[in-house]
Structure 1
Amino acid sequence: MPRLKFTSSFPQACISLLILFVVLGEQVGIWPSQVLQRLEWLTYDERVLATLSDAKDPSIVIVDIDEESLQAIGQWPWPRAQVAQLLFTLFEDYNIQFAGLDVIFAEPETNLLEQQWQELYQAYPGLPESPPFPSGDDLLRQVIAAYPVVPSFYFDTGQASQVTPSSGVLPRPLTVTNSETDWQQLPIYQPRRYTSNAFTVQPAPSVGGFFDNPMVDSDGVFRRVPLVQRWHEQLYPSLPLAMFYTLLGQPPVTLDAVPAAGMLHLEGIDVGGFYFPTDPHTAVLVPWAGKREHFPYISAAHVLEGRVQPESLEGKIVLLGTSAPGLMDLRSTSVGAVFPGVEIHANVLAGMLQMSFRSEPGYSLAITVLTLFVLGLLMTWLYPRLRAVQLIGLSLFLLGTIVTGNMYAWHQGLVLPIASVILLTALMTVWHLTLNFWRESHAKKQVADQFGMYIPPELVKDIVASPEAQDMAGQEKELTVLFSDIRGFTTFSEKIPPAELTQVMNRLLTPVTQAIHAHQGTIDKYMGDAVMAFWGAPLSDEKHALHAVEGALAMQEALTEINREFVQEGKQALAMGVGIHTGLMNVGNMGSSFRMAYTVLGDNVNLGARLESLTKNYGVDILISEITQQKIAPTGLFLLRKVDKVRVKGRFAPVEIFQLLGKKEQLNEQVQAMVASFENALSIYEQANFAEALQAFQQHLGLYPDDQVAQLYLIRCENYLSTPPPDNWDGVFTHKEK
């Protein structure tokens, strides 16, 4: 039958191009529906999670105001003197290198003793005019001024009507080398207010950093953070950048802005020779190094109580922050739905120290649009010409290639869009598969209508004759399966004209099929010159193993008659290998909604096929399994000889196999003597006495030189004598080929 060919039609191509146009429009923002953006965020998060490191980073330590600290010291905010003592202990007792504060102290601390001191002074003239000890604010300011501590603040970009006046003292801005006329053209965030440390806490000349993030994605996830924000014609750093800036000695900062489309486009920020790629708003993608607690956490209470090992903090960079849920510093991120904000700063700072930022290059949109265009046109032209399996295979190949290329770019530090390409491939695949299945369904219906008459008649007859056979649903039953294959048929067919091949096939398969039918077998399928049949279904047959063996012998007899005719016609005589196995199998109507077949499936079916294949290895006509042998042994009708104990490909459990020589009544005493001689040598072989077995097989072959099974064992004995098997050898021979 000619192969069905499906070609593209104009409506199919139009819809394919429409899909391409919709995805392209979404990618370039013609109709931003946020669907593609959310898919892109999901793919970005998956790439982040797939490339996280399990190794810890001990270079940055988070001193955590956790629940244990709140229980030990009291609710937040703590007295300023307590915070000052914490910082003093970190620097003096634990010798840390540097500290950043992810907390602010927006209002002066209320000191009741200082407020009432004048009344006490008037009542007790011997007291000094002012308290003899500094306030908590004074102590904290002195500690921040005396040690390398970077305080923090936050900006507010809310609506003007909702913004309260700024409070506190802003730290020192960055020293920028660019002229104001240059960088003021850039779309850097400009907040409406700020909240910083109170003037009583903030040392005037210090550098600080903001910890707010005006660039949280619309799904509420922190994926990028700005490095600077603009306030009153000055640029102020984020907390990680302020710490890095201070570690370098506050070098000049250069904004890498290049002209593009008549305006400046920011590509990165240079801090003392360290370059960080950014987007136009100065934001960087958070360089996630690991999941939560990638950096060591140490409870603030343990520091104050002196319970921390000195090596855990000595020489480390410390971030003071909180993971306590009640203090509201937990964020949703790419690596966790509940993530402490202080650890986000730690990841950004670690990225600066290790120069491990990824960037979204300006040409990524052009690459994506070109990829979508080429891929869409390729699918529009090629997909209608493919069958379903080919189409799915090509789609998987294209997706695999795209994902591999994207991940390669990811490992090179480049973040390229991928969601639109995946979406286009998925939509194109679904559309063309739908049309493909519709067309093949229609074609298969026509084929079924034309060739339904070729359904095996015995199956129809059994269903009509027996009500129990009308249940064609799948079920597990003990059956016997038979596989047969004509040996050397390819060579045989090459010697006859092609026009005669069909006639020869019919002459071969017709008597073989009649032999199976005559012994109550069901033809499962024809596979070229091979036949698969089974016994015990659809009608139950308690003697299915016996009938299968009788059918196999009848098949060989039929082939003998055919060979007589072939020889008379000058054709080559053929041989047929048959494998038979009995066991539990799944039987019933199986297939798809387009085409069903009554067939058997299961591991025992596969074993039957393996036995047929092994007939070539041993040079015998019929091999049966030990289970089939056990089923027919009580009849005493057949002469069998044990051939081997094997482990076939795809099956771990060994199985004994037997050669079916024929019915005893039809065999002479010489055949029975040959079997006895062979089995005597085989028993010696199975005892691993290979030298004696070699002699026994040699003697056997002296009497029966054409016994190919004995010849095979002769070679095995010689091999085992030169290369002995292991001590726990169980006599099983493993076949590595089907």
Structure 2
Amino acid sequence: MAWALVPVVLGVLHASGVLPLQLLERLEHLVYDVRLRLTLPHTLDERIVIIDIDESSLERVGRWPWSRDKMAAFTTELFERQGVSVVGFDLVFAEADDSSGLKSLQQLSRGPLKDDARFAGEVDRLVPELDFDARFASALDTQNAVLGYYFTSDRDGKGRGALPAPVFTPQQLGDSALRATEWNGYGSNIDVLARAAPAAGFFNAMADADGLVRALPLLAEYQGRYYESLALAVYRSLLGGADLMPAFASAEADVGERRILRGIALRHAGGRAFLPVDDQLATLVPYRGSGGPLGGSFRYVSAADVLTGQLAAGSLRGKVALVGTTAVGLQDLRATPVGRTYPGVETHANVLSGFLDGKAIYRPDYGPAYDVVQMMVAGLLLAFSLPLLGAGQALLLGGVVFAALVGLNGWLYLGFGLALPLASALAVVLLVTALDMAYGYLTESRTKRGLAQLFGTYVPPELVDEMLLAPERYSMQAASRELTVMFCDMRGFTAMSERMEPVQLQALLNDIFSRLTQAIRAQRGTIDKYMGDCVMAFWGAPVPTPQHAALAVRAALDMVKSVKLLNTQHRASGLPEIGIGIGLNTGSMCVGDMGSDIRRSYTVIGDAVNLGSRLEGLCKVYGVEIVASEATRMQAPGFVWQELDRVRVKGKEDAVAIFCPLGEPGALTQDQKSQLDQWHQALASLRAQDWAACDTQLEALCAAAPENPVLAWYRERLAQLRVLPYQPNWDGATRFDTK
């Protein structure tokens, strides 16, 4: 019974905030996500339409941002011809539009042509036509438009553009403060647009520790004033500019005290509305479906169709239009519980749809107290009952308590919109039941399971099995060790992202990453992280491996072969081909568990790691797929190496010799070996500043291999060097000042 109470005590400490447990927080997110996905309505809200700056729009109209005269025509089309009721822009217009050339003409009229009155008059006459910002502002003026902007929390706390008027000031709140998300900077619209638009709202999202967006703040604090979100601003505009009033949990507060806001009350001509919020003044997003043009929750209309007038007049009459983007290159796709590439504009559409339905999902401020009560009731019931029951009866009681907690939570969620905690209580029920039935097994295998959980996502399973044989030898504590690091970057990713749909691009990237990861793990490599289209890995930790450099080189060669095979398949199926660049370096690095309290990872840092990253970038310069340092080459003698150059990379003054592995000795033909010898002679002639000999040798090599990119690069370099005078102290190194 005493041991069964341990999960109850831990759960209560976690729920009360005395001992927050990240695992339970993540589990809470998981339970919430499952509950959300099971209750999605999957219905179309015809009141809201999303005007999508999609890939098709960028192809037809041009790259973003579009000129403001086009935005003026776009806005006029929405309001006057289509008859929308409100337009909300999930965009920010932070810079003036000088694309018309008006600024240059005005400079001429005030400068070289200031005495030409006729020219000055023509410029003045063209101002209304060429001042694109003013034209856009004129289209926004007197219309029911809501501009977007964002807050930041950077180190400098800078503000850019013009903020709208706050909805609450300290004076309106009686000099007390709200428990809101605080920001110290912002990026807003230029003044002429901000003054023309009747309203504006910030479009910041709130990503949880796992990176998923589950909530949107309705209010945010900046310099003691409180500003409304885009969804709230659009909703107020739709209600004719409803007045906002705070609804506090307590009636009075001392000056400067932070008060708990229970919700936001709206008063408008048609009545009143109440929007409940959590302790961060946020509301959970009531997602309707999987998101995107094919998600079925909202109608998506291509922005190009609106701009070119291809929609029938009045087809959007009376609707709320939210202008946003699903184009991958514009980076407004978010990870959410219902989709990993979810359009950011649709999160605001979901919140607005909930407002219109009178539906809100929120975490009430008494959630922790509710969690404590349910854990204590369920946990104590099981702790004192299970030891008195047999195995079958104990499992039945545990199941009944589990189902009761789930049923009660689901009823409160569906009936009242209360997102109350559940995961911790379920975890307590499961743990108490498991401890009662398998305490001995759990205590004996605790160390091995913990080690597997720590390293299982980083290293191959076979290495984890080795570590489990002597778990006491391994920890995630930082240590300095000699390792080999790899950086692998994909080439052609940008072109792919412009031509492929997000789902198709995601599937392609997953396939490529899976192949590269298999090659790394097959050679006992540890995956450090995935960074966009880049993979970082290292060898020699957590399991010490003397041959770490050779294993890394072999993995790199296997990755090149795997990508070539993949490109063969792509050519046959019509998919785009890709290339990769791999940088390898061996040296002393710091390896261990690093990060913040919110997110940590098992990674490597140090000067040797930075050099590996720089070498990966040199693959593009020399046209090869692998660039390795001399330290890696010296520890991997079982390969044939081609020396590429000596370089001074950014951040290092000492020259570093770089090499490209060509394969194992038996893989090269006699002609290839002869050309390699000839290449090293040409390199020696270059460094000796014997330009004539080097030129002759490069000509011979180019005749044998005319498409070799390394030779082409050196011929250009030779043409630049041979015009320079003889330099007695020249070491032949190439300097690179960019990363």
Band of TM-score, shorter chain: 0.5 to 0.7
Q: Deviations over 1:382-430 (max 9, x none)?
A: 1122222222222222211111111011112111111011101111121
Query: Helix, strand or coil: the match of 1:154?
Result: strand
Q: Does 2:72 match 1:84?
A: yes
Specify the SS of the correspondent of 1:259.
coil
Whether 1:352 and 2:355 are equivalent positions in the alignment is yes
Give the alignment partner of residue 417 of structure 1, picking from 418, 421, 431.
421
Listed as ranges, the matches of 1:276-287 within 5 Å are 276-287=275-286
Alignment partner, residue 697 of structure 1: none
Change (3 A) 1:72 1:191: same
For 1:150, give the aligned amino acid: V
Q: Structure 1 residue 193 and structure 2 residue 185: aligned?
A: yes
CA distance in 2, matches of 1:204, 1:98: 15
2:136 is aligned with 1:130 = no
Contact (CA 8 Å) 2:141, 2:198: kept in 1 or not? yes
Aligned AA (2:165)? R
Structure 1 equivalent of residue 432 of structure 2: 428
Task: Supply the distance in 2 between the matched residues of 1:437 and 1:223 (Cα, whole angstroms).
Answer: 37
Match of 2:550 in 1: none
Distance 2:37 2:264 in 1: 27
Corresponding position: 1:207 with 2:206: no
Write the distance in 2 (CA, Å) between the matches of 1:147 and 1:310. Answer: 18
Match of 1:299 in 2: 302
SS at match of 1:90: helix
Map 1:609-648 to 2 at 5 A.
none
1:46 to 22, 31, 34: 34
How far does residue 362 in structure 1 lie from its aligned partner after superposition? 2.9
Aligned to 1:336: 339
> 2:160 — aligned with what?
167
The code of the aligned residue for 1:50 comes to L
| 1:256 alignment partner in structure 2 | 247
Alignment of 1:558-707 (within 5 A): none
1:305 offset after TM fit, Å? 2.5
Q: Write the letter of the residue equivalent to 2:429.
A: T
Q: Structure 1 residue 233: deviation in Å?
A: 4.0
State the shift of 1:181 in Å. 5.0
- Report the equivalent of 1:149: 145
Aligned partners of 2:283 and 2:360 also within 8 Å: yes
Distance 1:390 1:309, change over 3 A: farther
**How big is the shift at 1:340?**
0.8
Shift in alpha-carbon separation, 1:302–1:247, aligned structure 2, 3 A: same
Match of 1:271 among 266, 269, 274: 266
Q: CA deviation at 1:266?
A: 1.2
Check conservation: 2:82, 2:316, Cα contact below 8 A. Answer: yes
Q: How far did 1:290 drift?
A: 2.3
CA distance in 2 between counterparts of 1:70 and 1:191 reads 33
Please identify, of 414-423 and 301-310, the stretch whose mean Cα deviation from structure 2 is larger: 301-310
2-side partners of 1:183 and 1:36: how far apart? Answer: 37
> Partner amino acid for 1:333?
T
Instruction: Show CA shifts across 1:595-635 (max 9, x none).
Output: xxxxxxxxxxxxxxxxxxxxxxxxxxxxxxxxxxxxxxxxx
Matched ranges for 1:2-81 at <5 A: 13-81=1-69
Distance 1:316 1:204 in 2: 22
Structure 1 residue 56, shift from structure 2 partner: 0.7
The aligned amino acid for 1:414 is L
User: Judging changes above 3 Å, is the alpha-carbon distance between structure 1 residues 370 and 202 closer, same or farther for their aligned structure 2 residues?
Assistant: closer
Identify the residue that residue 602 of structure 2 maps to in structure 1.
Answer: none
**Kept after mapping to 1: 8 A contact 2:180/2:280:** yes
Q: Aligned AA for 1:148?
A: N
> Per-residue CA shift, 1:690-720, capped at 9, x if unaligned?
xxxxxxxxxxxxxxxxxxxxxxxxxxxxxxx
Amino acid at match of 1:135: D
Matches within 5 A, 1:361-440: 361-412=364-415, 413-434=417-438
Contact 1:171/1:205 (8 A) holds in 2: no
Partner of 2:220: 229
Structure number, greater radius of gyration: 1
- CA distance in structure 1 between the partners assigned to 2:217 and 2:298 by the alignment: 22
Pick closer, same or farther for the CA change 1:253–1:188 going to 2, 3 Å.
same
Return closer, same or farther for 1:367/1:231 CA change in 2, 3 Å cut-off: closer
SS of the aligned residue for 1:230 comes to strand
2:102–2:130 Cα contact (<8 Å) kept: no
Residue 100 of structure 1 corresponds to which residue in structure 2? Answer: 88
**Structure 1, gaps ≥5 residues long:** 1-12, 439-738
Q: Secondary structure at the match of 2:248?
A: strand
**What secondary structure does 1:61 align onto?**
strand
Whole-angstrom distance in 1 between the partners of 2:286 and 2:117: 61
Residues 175, 360 of structure 1: alpha-carbon distance in 2 compared, 3 angstrom cutoff: closer
Distance of 1:435 and 1:354 partners within structure 2: 50
Q: Secondary structure of the residue that 1:146 maps to in structure 2?
A: coil
Using the size of structure 1 for normalisation, the TM-score is: 0.54
Q: Structure 1: how far apart are the matches of 2:180 and 2:326? A: 30
After the TM superposition, which of the residue ranges 429-438 and 264-273 deviates more from structure 2?
Answer: 429-438
Q: Give the deviation of 1:335 after TM superposition.
A: 1.4
Instruction: Give the secondary structure class of the aligned counterpart of 1:203.
Output: helix
Tell me the amino acid that sits aligned with residue 197 of structure 1.
N
- AA aligned to 1:339 is Y
Deviations 1:220-256 (A, max 9, x none): 1111111112234432110111111222222321111
Q: Deviations over 1:204-230 (max 9, x none)?
A: 5722111113x3211111111111122
Percent of aligned positions that are identical: 33
SS of structure 1 residue aligned to 2:161: coil
Where do 5+ consecutive residues of structure 2 fail to align?
443-739
Whole-Å Cα distance in 2 between the matches of residues 380 and 395 of structure 1? Answer: 10
Check whether the contact 1:361–1:414 (CA below 8 A) recurs between aligned residues.
yes
Structure 2 distance, partners of 1:217, 1:261, is: 32
Cα pair distance change 1:205/1:149, threshold 3 Å:
closer
Q: Is the 8 A contact 2:148 2:188 kept in 1?
A: yes
Q: Is contact 1:171–1:204 with CA below 8 Å preserved after alignment?
A: no
Cα 1:21/1:260, change in 2 over 3 Å: farther
Given that 1:108 and 1:201 are in contact with CA atoms closer than 8 Å, whether structure 2 keeps it comes out as: no
* Larger deviation, residues 423-432 vs 71-80: 423-432
Q: 1:297 to 1:204 in 2, by over 3 A?
A: closer
CA distance in 2, matches of 1:97, 1:180: 30
- The change in CA–CA distance for 1:374 and 1:220 in structure 2 (over 3 A counts) is same
Q: CA RMSD in A?
A: 2.4
Q: Is residue 27–residue 36 contact of structure 1 (8 Å, CA) maintained in 2?
A: no
1:8-42 CA distances to partner (integer Å, 9 max, x unpaired)?
xxxxx111122221222222222212111111111
Quote how far apart the aligned CAs of 1:112 are. 5.4
Preserved contact between residue 114 and residue 131 of structure 1 (Cα < 8 Å): no
Equivalent-residue separation in structure 2 for 1:106 and 1:250 (angstroms)? 25
Could you tell me the TM-score, scaled by structure 2's length?
0.54
Q: Distance in 2 between matches of 1:87 and 1:378?
A: 63
Question: Residues 60 and 318 of structure 1 are in contact (CA less than 8 Å); yes or no, is this contact kept in structure 2?
Answer: yes
Q: Which amino acid aligns with 2:143?
A: Y
AA matched with 1:425:
V
Compared with structure 1, are the counterparts of its residues 54 and 110 closer, same or farther at alpha carbon in structure 2 (3 Å cutoff)?
Answer: same
Cα–Cα, structure 1 residues 388 and 147, in superposed 2: closer, same or farther, change >3 Å? same
Letter in 1 for 2:141: A
Q: Deviations over 1:331-372 (max 9, x none)?
A: 111211111110011111111111100232333322221221
Give the aligned residue type for 1:169: A
Q: 1:420 to 1:114 in 2, by over 3 A?
A: same
Quick one: distance in 2 between partners of 1:27 and 1:261?
27
Do the aligned partners of residues 190 and 401 (structure 1) sit closer, same or farther apart at CA in structure 2, a change above 3 Å counting? closer
Q: 1:94–1:310: 8 Å Cα contact kept in structure 2?
A: yes
